[in-house]
């Protein structure tokens, strides 16, 4: 079985750990792995140049989490990391005071940047980096091209004027406190999905949308030309997992993003934003065959199902690997049911 997951960083990595665990239970290969093929198509809109280095936060978060070397206390970076180089860079006035990287984390960025400067495309760089650990899945950037997410805000320094920030500055420096007026995928028109992405979607038996930010993670992936169409065109059922539980975001600040694009912070509203696959009224076309909501949102499930998105309510909190695996199991079960339809 071939499973493709569209994923952002933190939520994506927790969900992917669950999918990997579930596939190992359900389709074991007899040596601790699985006969299934799991591919993650990862958001690159948060990527940035910092101190002359290319930083890819979502790819790294998933890599570190799936390798079991992530820092669970801080929620980013590598466990046991130090910040000797970053402190020194601050002395030189290089980089941003609001974006600190650990030494081991910086080493990965130095390696990545060295390879990129040699002309090696990002998907191949990602292959090299993940080869160090037996992840049990394939990480693919959504695109090799530099399509960075920018945020249009009211300029805090010049009332009445607007300003465009890199997503990381808005998210990390301002903690999404400046009201977002729009999200822009810089240079998106010239971009293409990374090699392997369209093939993975076409060959998939199941496509899952991780419970990541629907706007700046999943939305950014889908904004790469050709990618949304490939999700719509796959023969596989497409099942999404709500990142909203009981009208609140599980983690991060997705509500600030949803508000900016006029979508309520509500599990059903996000499903309608993605749209049912046959719905051409959704900009770019609808995507979902199935949708998982938390049990607290069960009341809206029937209406969604009637509207063509088969919706199931299950416990959605990704507290640990076991609970994540249970969510993955529910998503895969729903996909199997949709495939038999």
Q: Which residues bind its own copies (CB under 8 A)?
A: 51-53, 82, 84-85, 88-89, 91-95, 103-104, 106-108, 110-111, 113-115, 117, 128-129, 132
Minimum CB separation from its own copies for residue 39, in Å? 23
Minimum CB separation from its own copies for residue 212, in Å? 27
Minimum CB separation from its own copies for residue 118, in Å? 8
Q: In whole angstroms, what is the distance from residue 70 CA to residue 138 CA?
A: 18
Asked whether the beta carbons of 144 and 123 are under 8 A apart, the reply is yes
Minimum CB separation from its own copies for residue 185, in Å? 24
Asked whether the beta carbons of 297 and 313 are under 8 A apart, the reply is yes
Q: Are strands 149-154 and 162-166 parallel, antiparallel or unpaired?
A: antiparallel
- 106 vs 334 by CB, closer to its own copies: 106
- 113 vs 234 by CB, closer to its own copies: 113
Minimum CB separation from its own copies for residue 230, in Å? 32
- 107 vs 296 by CB, closer to its own copies: 107
Q: DSSP states of 74-109 as a string?
A: TSSSBTT---HHHHHHHHHT-S-TT----HHHHHHH
Q: Can you read off the two tokens belonging to residue 84?
A: 């000797």
Minimum CB separation from its own copies for residue 289, in Å? 40
- 92 vs 190 by CB, closer to its own copies: 92
Helix 122-130, helix 57-67: angle, nearest 10? 20
- 99 vs 174 by CB, closer to its own copies: 99
Q: In whole angstroms, what is the distance from residue 302 CA to residue 309 CA?
A: 9
**Residue whose C-alpha is closest to residue 282's, from 214, 185, 234, 205:** 214
- 75 vs 133 by CB, closer to its own copies: 133
Taking only Cα atoms into account, the Rg of the chain, rounded to an integer number of angstroms, comes to 19
């Amino acid at each position: 079985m071939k499973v493709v997951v569209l994923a952002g960083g933190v939520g994506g990595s927790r969900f992917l750990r669950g999918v990997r665990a579930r596939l190992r239970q359900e389709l074991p290969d007899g040596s601790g792995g699985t006969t299934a093929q799991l591919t993650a198509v990862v958001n690159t809109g948060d990527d940035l140049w910092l101190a002359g280095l290319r930083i890819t936060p979502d790819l790294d978060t998933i890599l570190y989490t799936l390798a079991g070397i992530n820092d669970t206390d801080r929620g980013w970076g590598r466990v046991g990391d130090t910040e000797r180089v970053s402190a020194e860079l601050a002395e030189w006035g290089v980089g941003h005071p609001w974006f600190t990287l650990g030494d081991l984390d910086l080493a990965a960025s130095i390696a990545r940047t060295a390879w990129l400067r040699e002309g090696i495309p990002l998907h191949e760089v990602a292959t090299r980096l993940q080869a160090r650990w037996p992840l049990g899945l394939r990480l693919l950037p959504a695109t090799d091209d530099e399509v960075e997410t920018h945020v249009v805000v009211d300029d805090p320094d010049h009332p009445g004027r607007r300003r465009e920030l890199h997503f990381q500055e808005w998210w990390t420096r301002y903690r999404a406190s400046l009201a977002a007026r729009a999200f822009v995928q810089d240079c998106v028109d010239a971009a293409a999905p990374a090699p392997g992405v369209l093939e993975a979607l076409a060959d998939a038996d199941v496509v899952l949308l991780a419970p990541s930010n629907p706007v700046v993670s999943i939305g950014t992936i889908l904004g790469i030309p050709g990618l949304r169409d490939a999700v719509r065109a796959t023969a596989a059922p497409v099942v999404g997992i709500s990142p909203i539980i009981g009208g609140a975001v599980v983690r991060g600040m997705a509500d600030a993003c949803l508000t900016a694009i006029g979508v309520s912070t509500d599990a059903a509203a996000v499903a309608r934003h993605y749209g049912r696959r046959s719905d051409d009224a959704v900009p770019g076309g609808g995507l979902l065959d199935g949708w998982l909501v938390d049990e607290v949102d069960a009341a809206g499930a029937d209406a969604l199902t009637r509207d063509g998105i088969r919706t199931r309510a299950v416990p959605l909190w990704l507290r640990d690997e076991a609970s994540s695996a249970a969510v993955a199991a529910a998503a895969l079960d729903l996909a199997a049911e949709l495939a038999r339809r």
